[in-house]
Amino acid sequence: MSAARFDPKFVNELSEILRSEAEGVVYGAKGKAAPYSRLFTGDWELRSVGIEPDSAGTRVICRLQAENIEVIATIEAADFPDLVGKRSRDPAFNSTGYSDLAVLTSLLIQEQITTFSPATLTRSQVRICLPKDRDDEAQ
């Protein structure tokens, strides 16, 4: 049996999500409305995202940078065997037009990298996967 491989569409979807911007309105203490917009990656800049050339399509590399600190996020197809290659969406989890895999990995990148201040992030390489406690719950 061959190893699961990422579809280039996944990379495009992940890139779109990570480059997206949320827009809305916030209300101050006196109820005054003020528009806001915020990048999905917050203070982090997405430098690149793509299939690692030497991986035969089994690994995606995502580079993010903030305050002269670069973090390399790796996403292994083997870590998401139930989602790699799946184009349908679970409406209970995902109401977007993106695949469940793109939505899940973007949220994990947000959770494991972009919610942190660059000064407090202690690793320059992060393997994006479900934490073991949540992985066990999914079984």
Residues contacting residue 108 through CB under 8 Å, at least 6 positions apart: 128, 129, 130
Q: Compute and round to an integer the Cα radius of gyration of the chain.
A: 16
Q: What is the pLDDT of residues 10-24, one digit of tens each?
A: 999 999 999 999 888
> Which SS3 state, helix, strand or coil, does residue 16 take?
helix
Q: Kindly tell me if the per-residue pLDDT of 137 is higher than 50.
A: no
Query: Closest Cα partner for 45 from 71, 80, 9?
Result: 71
Q: Which CATH number fits domain 8-21+36-133: 3.30.160, 3.30.70, 1.10.1060, 3.40.390?
A: 3.30.160
Q: What is the pLDDT of residues 70-108, one digit of tens each?
A: 999 999 999 998 889 877 777 778 888 899 999 999 999
Give per-residue burial for 110-136: e unless 16+ CB within 10 Å, then b: bebbbebebeebeeeebebbeeeeeee
Residues contacting residue 22 through CB under 8 Å, at least 6 positions apart: 37, 38, 39, 40
DSSP state of 2: P
Q: How big is the chain, counted in residues?
A: 139
For the chain, domain boundaries? 8-21+36-133
